Amino acid sequence: MKKRIYEIIERAKPHDTQSKIFDITIIILIILNVVAVIINSFSSLPVTIVLLLKYIELFSVIVFSIEYLLRLWTADMRYINLNIPRIRYVFSFMALIDLFAILPFYLPFIIPFDLRFIRMLRLLRLLRIFKLNRYNDAMDKIGRVLRKEKEKLLTTIFVTSILLIFASSIMYYVENEAQPEQFPNIIASIWWAIATLTTVGYGDVYPITALGKILSGIIAILGIGLVALPTGIISSGFITEVTDTKNKRIKYCPHCGKELD
């Protein structure tokens, strides 16, 4: 029975109708919950809508709680070679997402919170959208790409951090005397550096001295290339991942090397 439950709650295999129904049900509930969070942001809602949203929340929490417990129970089917499979599962990324998705519903019953904090906890329900990762091959591919390219991405983040600190430091010393309110210290100047390097340019903080304007232009040009680096790394990695996956599915003739039907 445990093995069959494990097969059902995991991603559906071809011709497994029960598992497909389970997957579709979970996906529909996730989408409904995200829509419910968006609708709840409106200040005035009809009583019927409010009541409907509460029922959706209650039903979703029951289903997601049962799902979490079943995944915890069948963890030894997933982590066969580990001595403590349930502990391993509890601290896995998807298990934490499952837990945080239902936790805001139970916490107020266990520990009394300030009402404002409870409202903040309701935002954690949006984490339920990450549960779709189990049923989406595209998100799996993105995850694999990020893991493969993590060293390049970390290098880019490191270089960006250095440039942010360098740019904000220079602008502080150049603009502080002219605009002490806008550039009071290097930490406050980082906001300007972020807006400039990402070429967003909100316009709330900007240089007014001639040297400051020249430096700002140079930093903005550097930012164009810097922001494009992570995009290029991820795009290249994603193309490689898709190509590798396709090549694994394609069979070639061992004699002539041509693609087989």
Contact 193, 167 (CB under 8 A): yes
Quick check: is 257 in a domain? no
Q: What is the CATH number of the domain that holds 59?
A: 1.20.120
Query: pLDDT-based confidence at 120, cuts 50/70/90?
Result: low
Q: Are residues 66 and 188 in the same domain?
A: no
SS3 82: coil
CB–CB of 168/186 below 8 Å? yes
Amino acid letter, residue 226:
L
Tell me if 254 is assigned to some domain: no
φ/ψ of residue 182, rounded to 5: -80, -30
Which residues, listed in sequence order, are joined to residue 41 by a DSSP beta bridge? none
Verify that 165 and 239 share a domain, yes or no.
Answer: yes
77 in any annotated domain: yes
Same domain, 97 and 42: yes
Tell me: do 157 and 131 sit in the same domain. no
Residue 207's nearest CA partner among 175, 247, 248 is: 175
Number of domains in the chain: 2
Domain identity same for 159 and 218: yes
Average pLDDT in the 154-160 region? Answer: 87
Shared-domain flag, residues 14 and 131: yes
User: What average pLDDT does this structure show over 36-64?
Assistant: 87
Given a cut of 80, is residue 137 above it in pLDDT?
Answer: no
Residue 86's contacts (CB-CB under 8 Å, 6 or more residues apart) are 72, 75, 76
Nearest alpha-carbon partner for 85 in 103, 100, 73: 73
Looking at the fold, whether 67 and 104 belong to one and the same domain comes out as: yes
On whether the CB atoms of residues 71 and 89 are closer than 8 A, the answer is yes
**Tokens (6 digits) for 142:** 């993105």
Local structure of 242: helix, strand or coil: helix
In a domain, 161, yes or no: yes
Q: Are residues 81 and 175 in the same domain?
A: no
Rounded mean pLDDT of 64-76? 90
Work out the average pLDDT over 163-186.
91
Using one digit for the tens of pLDDT, what is the confidence trace for 14-41? 788 898 898 888 888 888 888 887 888 7
Domain range for 100 is 2-135
DSSP 24: H
Task: Tell me the pLDDT tens digit for each residue of 191-228.
Answer: 999 888 888 878 888 899 999 999 989 988 888 888 77
Residue 219 burial (C-beta neighbours within 10 Å; 0-12, 13-18, 19+): buried
For residues 106 and 7, state if they share a domain. yes
- Whether residues 47 and 123 share a domain: the answer is yes
Stated pTM of the model: 0.60
Residues 92 and 162 in one domain: no
Ramachandran angles phi, psi of 231, nearest 5°: -60, -45
